[in-house]
């Protein structure tokens, strides 16, 4: 088993692709030891090969299963001598479409992964975080946690929940020398944007975003913002200029932003 050998360490869920994988690359390049966890074992092995086996601990993790969390924490603890500088609760899924077209079972899974998965992670990681000076939790939320996003209603609700949990825990855990922050990206070029309106659909969410003339930011921007969230003094870290504009508009011009969103919606079939 690879060992941290005194290096700072980060535990990353959803590490097989997208923001999680890019964050692992970035932190490892800056001397950190990375725990890589996902349900996609092949993707994990690819990322591990890229950053080097000496620099990471790898294990399959379904964030909805507490037994998986316990096993992953045990392995990470052994590799880091019982320390964890950052827990990066990044795993998440979404489903794009009108609310009534999303099967309830899929809505359940979005909630289970995006909300319960984060809560499970905090419970599982607390012993290691408490044992580490100036530890931090970084939760991946979204701009959809600032502005309610139609045709992403359940996803948006989960990200509002993550935002609220983050703010509460940042206060609650402060006396334990643990900060809690969130990463709140705009649309990032990751596999989650491959969501279609229907199973097997050729038109993906990314296509609609670009057709509307909206920005899709590179995953490297989200990873750099995750670095800031792991080190900075704020609570929420917006990834992308559009994310910052959305936060401003939601606070000071809610009527205007609702009108813009409504105008951008396609007609129902």
Q: Which residues of 82-116 are buried (b: 16+ CB within 10 A; e: fewer)?
A: ebbbbbbbbbbbbbbbeeeebeeeebeebbbbbbb
For 69, the token pair is 């969390």
Helix axis angle, 104-111 to 153-172, nearest 10°: 20
Catalytic entry in 37, 155, 217, 237: 155
261/245 Cα distance (integer angstroms): 14
249/144 Cα distance (integer angstroms): 13
Is residue 3 within 8 Å of residue 79, measured between CB atoms? yes
3-state secondary structure of 152: coil
For 13, the token pair is 């869920």
For 191, the token pair is 């596999």
The reply to whether 155 belongs to the active site is yes
Q: Among all residues, which ones are annotated catalytic?
A: 155
């Amino acid at each position: 088993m690879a060992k941290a050998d005194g290096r700072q360490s980060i535990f990353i869920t959803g590490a097989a692709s997208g923001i999680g994988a890019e964050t692992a690359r970035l932190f490892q390049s800056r001397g950190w030891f990375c725990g890589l966890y996902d349900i996609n074992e092949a993707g994990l092995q690819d990322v591990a090969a890229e950053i080097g086996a000496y620099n990471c601990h790898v294990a399959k993790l379904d964030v909805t299963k507490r037994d998986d969390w316990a096993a992953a924490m045990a392995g990470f603890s052994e590799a880091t001598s019982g320390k964890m500088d950052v827990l990066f609760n990044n795993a998440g899924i979404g489903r794009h479409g009108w609310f009534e077209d999303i099967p309830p079972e899929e809505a359940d899974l979005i909630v289970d992964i995006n909300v319960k998965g984060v809560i499970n992670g905090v419970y599982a990681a607390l012993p290691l975080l408490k044992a580490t000076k100036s530890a931090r939790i970084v939760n991946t939320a979204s701009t959809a946690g600032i502005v309610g996003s139609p045709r992403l209603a359940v996803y948006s609700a989960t990200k509002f929940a993550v935002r609220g949990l983050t703010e509460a825990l940042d206060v609650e855990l402060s006396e334990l020398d643990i900060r809690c922050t969130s990463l709140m990206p705009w649309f990032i070029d990751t596999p989650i944007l491959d969501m279609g309106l229907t199973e097997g659909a050729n038109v993906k969410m990314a296509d609609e975003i670009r057709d509307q003339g909206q920005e899709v930011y590179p995953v490297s921007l989200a990873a750099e913002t995750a670095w800031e969230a792991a080190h900075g003094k704020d609570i929420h870290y917006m990834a992308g200029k559009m994310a910052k504009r959305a936060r401003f508009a939601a606070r000071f011009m809610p009527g205007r932003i609702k009108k813009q969103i409504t105008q951008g919606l396609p007609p129902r079939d």
